[in-house]
Amino acid sequence: MFRKLLLSILKKFLEPVEAEAKKVVDFTNAKQNYVDNAVEQNKDEWLIDLGFCEFIHDVCSWSLARNAGYEFMEMLKQIDKNTYKMLYTVGSWPEVKKIEISSAWRPGGGVHSIGLGIDIQAIHFESGVVHCFRKSNATMHPSALKKLRLKLWETGLINQWIGPWSKRGVLGEVPGWHKNNNRTNVCKQHRNHVHLTIRKG
């Protein structure tokens, strides 16, 4: 009885803290809002500040689209609405402050060319820590990124994750999580970013 009373009291004190941590995110017209909030910071480098999270597209992130004659806004419009839903979802998490995107839509085939592939090179956390998806012989898998990976997979919004430390959903592999052993081309190509394939809704 005393334990239940104590838990009830603690809950009342903790509820306001939890409420403050939650972000107010409007998923309505997510794609158009993302496009409308794009601001060029430097030449060919863009920032999308949605209030609850910032998204960075550096000069290299859309070079293939740019070289094919696309403007940045045109490139954004090629990205599937389900990809924006995934970005909004991750951005809405209390621990996430900023996401650096290294590639989104691009011509040339594959899931990127249909707007369902996106590459992320770094995530800035509200704690002030910045974790890059970059593996060297000395770097261990940051626990914050590991938690985020599992959390994202559980949403059902993606069906493929290929990163510096782990991968899942690679065609021809046994289902489940596997280490990036740096032996195959797929592994070698993803030692400095994580590729996400978004599930078509």
Q: Which of 119, 190, 100 has its CA nearest to residue 178? A: 190
Residues whose CB is less than 8 angstroms from the CB of residue 143 and which lie 6 or more positions away in sequence, other chains included = none
pLDDT tens for 36-83 read: 999 999 999 999 999 999 999 999 999 999 999 999 999 999 999 999
Residues 169, 153, 141, 116, CA torsion sign? positive
Tens digits of per-residue pLDDT, 14-39? Answer: 443 333 456 889 999 999 999 999 99
Exposure string (b/e) for 63-83, b if CB count within 10 Å is 16 or more? Answer: ebbbeeebebeebbebbbebb
Domain map of the chain by residue range? 25-161+193-198
pTM over 0.85: yes
